[in-house]
Each structure stands twice: as structure tokens, then as C-alpha cells.
Amino acid sequence: MEIQINGERHSIEPMTLLDLLGSLDINPLRVAVERNRDIVPKREYGSILLADGDLLEIVQFVGGG
């Protein structure tokens, strides 16, 4: 299935959000995720099964003023 992560298309196998973060080498504690414009609470990362066509925004803190 296909999903979009930060504006880019990715083909993935069905998996949870937590698995996806793991496969991308992203520390779940260091990011926030929006799925189809809704914030995903951290405690739900392991139970959310990604669906075809999902739009994900994965953000982190960077230097800024």
C-alpha cells in the first residue's frame, strides 16, 4: 500500500505507526505525528494500523528563534 510521509510517497507493508517509526530509525519520543491532519497521541503509536492513502506529517524540534 501507499502512504505519504512529509509530502513524499512511500510504499509500505501493512504495519503500525510505531513499526513505521522503527523502520525509519526515528525515536518516537523525539517526534510528533499528524495522521490525516489529526494529532496522534504518543500512547496510540503502537495500536494505530496505517491505512492505504494515509497522509503523515512527522515533525521534530530544530533550532529556531
List residues near other proteins by CB under 8 A.
5-8, 10, 24-27, 30-34, 37, 39-42, 57-65
Which one, 25 or 52, has the nearer CB to other proteins? Answer: 25
Smallest gap from residue 40 Cβ to other proteins (A): 8
Strand partners, 4: 9, 55
- Can you tell me the distance from the alpha carbon of 49 to that of 61, in angstroms, rounded to the nearest whole number? 25
- Asked if 16 and 23 count as a contact pair (C-beta separation under 8 A), the reply is no
Smallest gap from residue 41 Cβ to other proteins (A): 7
